[in-house]
Amino acid sequence: MGFYCYLLLCADGTYYTGWTTDPTRREKQHNAGTGARYTRTRRPVKMVYLEEVPDKPAALKRERAIKALPRAKKKAMADKSPLDSPIYE
């Protein structure tokens, strides 16, 4: 089982950071309103960054590190991400 940290772009232009073992399922949960409370009122959301990490402790640590970044750095991460390529659609 893989672990992933992800960054969502919310409809209001804010970013949400989380971790999961199934990125596709988690994005669907956020968009269905059954994800985090933060994203419920900011739908639709789009996954703009995804990073695989070795285990759950690493995922939690990386999530905290990403959350601590300023918005400009999160935007830079999202801009460099290949998630808009056809392989992820």
18-63 pLDDT, tens digit each: 999 999 999 999 999 999 999 999 999 999 999 999 999 999 999 9
Domain locations along the chain: 3-88
CA atoms within 13 A on the CB side of 2: 10
pLDDT score of 86:
44
Which option is the CATH number for 3-88: 1.20.120, 3.90.930, 2.40.160, 3.40.1440? Answer: 3.40.1440
Contact status, residue 15 vs residue 7, Cβ threshold 8 Å: yes
CA distance 18 to 4: 8
pLDDT score of 84:
62
Locate 26 and state its tokens.
Answer: 């988690």
Tell me, what DSSP letter sits at residue 80?
Answer: H
